[in-house]
Chain A
């Protein structure tokens, strides 16, 4: 758990023991493995990358090859306790629709995303006049899988429009120290990653 990023540590804390968890875009299964070991969840991952799928299978995890952009209509209402999506919302064609789906499949959902309102991408764009490229968002504008750039404020506006309830949220700065404190007061400017625990109404 120690080498887990702070935003994933938050996700692990919020997951109820013995629950049934769906991880959308589960990657190589890092989070599912930890949740299985520490929270005894019954987990299922959806993933599209063949190498990631193989790694999940090698770890003894349940993983299903699925393109999130084709929707989640194949799954039943309320078939999971919690549906997770980490750092993937910005790469989905319709983030608003997938949020609806996550709260249809799960009693609650946890979403993490990179906050594009962070001061670094803001100043990159302001001073360089080019779309931000950083260690954190390492892609050029033309090959980036990240097709939606949005801020913490944008996201909360969407939640208000949808009428979704925030059960919990946490703003995470990559570096510890002053930035961690700052991002509690000005999340839209200082949070690099936002973690939200949501429910319907």
Chain B
């Protein structure tokens, strides 16, 4: 049994005051909900998506025809059980899966925003998600959950709206990106902007698509989401075609090459390049300690939520050490926090992939009743 969810769009004509000082006067959020909100409205769980996720957390993602991006963990009987919880997935502002973003029409000009879409920060997403919460008549989230960039939103929720979050699950995330992590994002952005068909972000108005650039950006990103061990286990040195037999001159292609090319090409047709650039910048700008003199624990001091922080052993894009830093900051702030480092060979992608221990922890934390103290 799967729950295909209820998909709808909500329009906000009051607009949102952005962190960059600007006002986005009108915006729409594309939302997909699973399960039912109970009478007390106290069983709602917000799932925040990562860089390339969307509102289709469970069920089938109509844009790909494949299961929603976190259907491994969200659905009837899953760790986040939609028979019991009302799960809310939302495409973040600036995205390309139905919410207002660079390819939407700017009412002020009558043409698409393209590269003129305002720069965003994680707190802008949280502000718009907070508006969504009020629209859904939810006073307090039973839990806010997110991996990677989603984990940043989950933490930001607890800092900006401490009274609105009961549990917070932060998976394979960080309180700010490292220089190396920003560097990978810059590689991806350069790949896109150097594609002649990107046309300074005006590709849509010129009826072109920077598919080569976007594909390369995805290939770079994809490698950083896997672990060396995992890639060796999956591909090793297997050949897709050709051979090294002496006397044979057929061109050789390794399986890993073919896989990356395929993943890049597939992504380039489904994701918007301006959204990709916008979102990687949101990642780069995030720094939970910035408003608190660089002390993340001060940011957490006002949080009421109970936290579960999870890292993965072979994740190097958001290493387990970064999750331990989150945990230590929460301990310093005397908050309730549990932390586990899950053994997995799947690198950063592990947060999306089936894993018995991860599943059990997530389920126990979500379903467990807190001990008061």
Which residues of A line the B interface, CB within 8 A?
20, 33, 35-37, 40-44, 50, 53-54, 56-65, 74-76, 79
B281 within 8 A of A: no
Size range of the interface on B? 20 to 34
The one of A54, A64, A74 that contacts B361, using a Cβ cutoff of 8 Å = A54
Is A65 a contact partner of B340 (Cβ separation < 8 A)? Answer: yes
Check B370–A44 contact: CB distance below 8 A: no
Q: Say which residue of B332, B361, B370, B371 sits within 8 Å of A79 (CB atoms).
A: B332
A12 to chain B, nearest CB (A): 14
Stretch at the interface among B25-33, B87-95, B241-249, B323-331: B323-331
* CB of B81 to closest CB in A, whole Å: 15
- Whether B339 and A64, one on each chain, are in contact in the complex, defined by CB atoms closer than 8 angstroms, is yes
- B361 to A59, Cβ gap below 8 A? no
Determine if B357 and A57 form an interchain contact, defined as CB atoms under 8 angstroms apart.
no
Q: How far is the CB of A121 from chain B (nearest CB, A)?
A: 36
- Give A41 Cβ to nearest chain B Cβ, in Å: 5
Residue B360 at the chain A interface, CB threshold 8 Å: yes
> Is A59 within 8 A of B337, CB to CB?
no
Closest Cβ–Cβ distance, residue B350 to chain A (whole Å): 15
Given contacts A64-B331, A79-B331, contact A59 B368 (CB under 8 A): yes
Chain B residues with CB under 8 Å of chain A are 306, 308, 324, 327-328, 331-332, 334, 336-341, 357, 360-361, 364-365, 368-373
Q: How far is the CB of B313 from chain A (nearest CB, A)?
A: 11
Contact of B369 among A35, A54, A60 (CB under 8 A): A60
Whether the Cβ atoms of A56 and B338 lie closer than 8 Å is: yes
Q: Are A65 and B341 also in contact (CB < 8 A) when A44-B331, A76-B332 are?
A: yes
B369:A50 contact, CB within 8 angstroms: no
Residue numbers in A under 8 Å from B336 (CB-CB)? 42, 62
Q: Given the complex of chains A and B, what is the CA–CA distance between A35 and B334 in angstroms? A: 17
Interface of A is mostly: mixed
The answer to whether B371 touches A75 (Cβ under 8 A) is: no
Bound Cα distance A50, B357 (Å): 8
CA distance A62 to B336 in the complex (A): 6
The 7 closest A-B pairs by CB, nearest first: A36-B373, A60-B371, A58-B364, A60-B370, A64-B339, A36-B371, A57-B364
Tell me whether B373 and A59 are in contact (CB under 8 A): no
Complex interface: chain A residues within 8 A of B338 (CB)? 53, 56-57, 61-64
Contacts of A37 in B (CB 8 A): 371
Q: How far is the CA of A158 from the CA of B107 in the complex (A)?
A: 76
Across the interface, which residues of A come within 8 angstroms of B334, CB to CB?
Answer: 20, 42
Chain B nearest CB from A107 CB (Å) reads: 15
A sample of 11 more A-B contacts (CB under 8 A), given A20-B334, A76-B332, is A44-B331, A44-B337, A50-B340, A54-B361, A57-B338, A59-B368, A59-B371, A64-B327, A64-B337, A65-B341, A79-B331
